[in-house]
Amino acid sequence: MNARFFLPIGIFLALVAVSAVSMMSMLNGNQAREQLPSPLIGKDAPELILVPFDTTLSKSERQVDLKQLIGNGPFAVNFFASWCAPCQKEAPFLEKLSNHIPIIGVAYKDKSDQLAIFLESFGDPFIKIGFDNDGKTSINWGVYGVPETFIINKNGIIILRHPGPITTNVLKNEIIPILDEINL
């Protein structure tokens, strides 16, 4: 009799507790953006076919050729846009990351003049920048929104993907440890 009476109440209270805890953690910003696992981790980095940003460079200099980078050590690919507010917030941390590894910038649906203003205002941590204006390259990389950052090892394999802006915590807890791991 007792069990019959208390079991439903117990289950109800447990459900309330679970919802309360998850709601509190959301309010505290712990789960600002749910991270979906990327199936690309452990696989070869897809090609980067981009429209060049700096048209004054010669054609060979303008192309972002991953093959040239692969083998020289790890590097990062950052998908961003001048119109994206979290990308502005991320800029100082990207600058810090550029002290560790070279970063290629992929400007998603952006315009040259606006991008130039963005880089002037928030800094330019990139070794190369190109546009992905039709979104095809982003889909090839499984990107679902800017900013998104990938770390590629010296063999050209994606070892980390971080959706959302890079913060102090992300640098400290996610990116730097994985760079240490691959003996940088």
Partner 1 sequence: MKNILLISFVLLLNPLNVFSIEPDEILSDSKLENRARNLSKGIRCLVCQNQSIDDSDSELAKDLRKIIRIKIVEGKKDKEINDFLVEKYGNFILMKPPFYSETFLLWSSPFIIVFIGFIIIFFSLKKTRSEN
Binding site for partner 1 (CB under 8 A): 36-40, 109, 134-136, 138-142, 144-145
For partner 1, the closer CB: 82 or 138:
138
Of 81 and 104, CB closest to partner 1: 81
Cis status, amide bond into 147, omega within 30 of 0? yes
- Given its phi and psi angles, is residue 36 left (phi above 0), alpha (psi -120 to 50 degrees) or beta? beta
Shortest gap between Cβ of 100 and partner 1 (angstroms)? 27
Q: Do 76 and 150 touch, CB atoms closer than 8 A?
A: yes
Q: Among 149, 180, 168, which residue's Cα sits nearest to residue 41?
A: 149
User: H or E segment at 130?
Assistant: strand 126-132
| Eight-class DSSP state of 171 | I
Nearest distance in Å: CB 87, partner 1: 14
CA distance 71 to 120: 31
Q: How far is the CB of 136 from partner 1 (least distance, A)?
A: 7
- Toward partner 1, which CB reaches closer, 136 or 172? 136
**Minimum CB distance to partner 1 smaller for 12 or for 144:** 144
Q: Find the shortest distance in angstroms from Cβ 152 to partner 1.
A: 16
